[in-house]
Structure 1
Amino acid sequence: MSFLPYVITIVAPPSLLNQNILDLIEPYYSLKNAQWLSPQEAIDIELLTNSFDESKSIFEKIKAALKSEKIDVFLTSMISRKKKLLIADMDSTIVQSETLDDLATEVGIGEQIAAITKRAMNGELVFADALNERIALLKNVSADLLEKTWQHTKLNDGAQTLVATMKKKHAHTALISGGFTFFTQKVADKCGFHENHANQLGIQDNKLNGTVIPPILGKEAKLFHLNRLTQELNLTENDSITIGDGANDLPMLTNAGLGIGYYPKPIVAKQLLNIIQHTSLRSALFIQGYTATEFINELG
């Protein structure tokens, strides 16, 4: 019998994937042929089944068994497992926070703008309208505060490792954000992304003029860049991996070969099979079958 090669990857925070956790998995699928990707952190379980539905059933049982643990469980195909194109969102994905909210905090209206951001990321508002509304509230703010905001911006754990490792393995990497080019360029430089795309702030006399220079980059543009890069690089749909957290990421997440939600908003979590909810961006490498010994360490 020939089998379609599905694999379940289980990832825990470092050193937490111990025998007690493995004992919870064993009743649902044998670990006899399981392969460690990183000792006590990540393990692969290749499934001997020719049915996606059967594979998903096993996946769901294991996930339910580990529900009370800080463990992430993923189900993917072994076909084109190591991706050749990475597209990542920036805010709350590659970086820890929402950079626009952080900028607003610098001028004392952080909570007001964060409330709008939250609704937009949950899919409750039209993204472009929400973006224009927030930027209008920042009219006449000094552009110097952009740099001050950047100084407080932190990368999420594993961001540099993810990009550096995939680049080392000859994947193309793109940072595509509904945020702003001032920040995406700096994040792209720090992580090593090949390219970055985002919105542009209107600035006059070194002050924000309260506008976003059109066209606005939103969910349609993220999907556009996924399709563009797939064509330009002569890749198949299965060759791509996308990562994001908000509603405007959904089109690129659901149309990629592998779409991963990173601590996603509820509207995103409901539509994705694979979600990073307890671990770091390193998991996006484990999902592709990379071992920890293949990782390129953080750049610092």
Structure 2
Amino acid sequence: MIPARFLVVLDADSTLLRNEVIELIADEAGRGAEVAAATEAAMRGEVDFAASLRTRVAALTGVPLAAFERVLARVEPTLGASEFISGVHERGGVVGVVSGGFHEVLDHIAPALGVDRWRANRLAASDGALTGAVDGEIVDAEGKAATLREWARALELPLSRTIAVGDGANDLRMMAAAGLGVAFNAKPAVRERANVVIDPVDLREILPLLPR
């Protein structure tokens, strides 16, 4: 196996994907607007992410698992996602996605886009419906940073050969840990602390930043 030359780790919602997936699921419970407002506050860093996520997931109580087929049909990759991932691979890089969202969606979307590895939260379910709880430890800001470090170690890469791409406050620790932190489609607090800010919502705009 050829050693990886570098690692790119992306957030999922509003970065790799155009959507905030939790809002799509909340639509199935008739609580989309309520959850969208709470998500926006969390992404701006106004509230604790883990506490906010638990509250937002509680709003999903009773959503049938069958509804995920409708949710998946509404998920849209960000413009240029496939080309960006192909470009990373062509340059000898590995693409990871670490998300405060959910495996129930990412397990379908990530492999279809060519993502090499991914990690997200899981939603607890019983009797064919969501219980309103997160199953297991929450992937929060520190979880994202720890995942980037873990994947870099597994690939035997120094952190200087890693790039983190995100939009929300829960991406800041991951971006700080990486060799290069890229604010993409980002909230003001993230733009202020990133190494690079990408304004066009097109992942191909990141390609010139990759090691050659």
TM score, norm. by length of structure 2: 0.94
Q: Which residue of 2 aligns with 1:138?
A: 60
1:230 aligned residue (143, 152, 175): 152
Q: Which residue of 1 aligns with 2:131?
A: 209
Contact 2:162 2:178 (8 Å CA) reproduced: yes
Indicate whether 1:85 and 2:7 are aligned: yes
Aligned length: 209
Amino acid at match of 1:271: R
Q: Could you tell me how far 1:276 is from its partner in structure 2?
A: 1.0
Among the aligned pairs, what percent are the same residue? Answer: 32
Q: Which residue of 2 aligns with 1:244?
A: 166
1:120 aligned residue (32, 37, 42): 42
Indicate whether 1:168 and 2:90 are aligned: yes
2:198 aligned residue (276, 289, 293): 276
Amino acid at match of 2:98: I
With CA pairs under 8 Å and 6+ residues apart, which has the higher RCO, 1 or 2? Answer: 2
Amino acid at match of 2:137: P
RMSD between aligned residues: 1.5
Contact 1:219 1:252 (8 Å CA) reproduced: yes
How far apart, in 2, do the equivalents of 1:138 and 1:232 lie? 35
Q: 1:40-62, CA deviations, whole angstroms, 9 ceiling, x for partnerless residues?
A: xxxxxxxxxxxxxxxxxxxxxxx
Amino acid at match of 1:275: V
Q: Could you tell me how far 1:83 is from its partner in structure 2?
A: 5.9
Q: Which residue of 2 aligns with 1:150?
A: 72
Moved over 6 A (4+): none
Contact 1:88 1:94 (8 Å CA) reproduced: yes
Q: Which residue of 2 aligns with 1:95?
A: 17
Change (3 A) 1:155 1:245: same
Answer with 235-244 or 281-290: which moved more: 281-290
Structure 1: state its 5+ residue gaps: 1-81, 291-300
How far apart, in 2, do the equivalents of 1:87 and 1:286 lie? 16
TM score, norm. by length of structure 1: 0.67
1:258 aligned residue (177, 180, 195): 180
Structure 2: state its 5+ residue gaps: none
Please state which structure has a larger fraction of its residues in helix: 2
Answer with 150-159 or 105-114: which moved more: 105-114
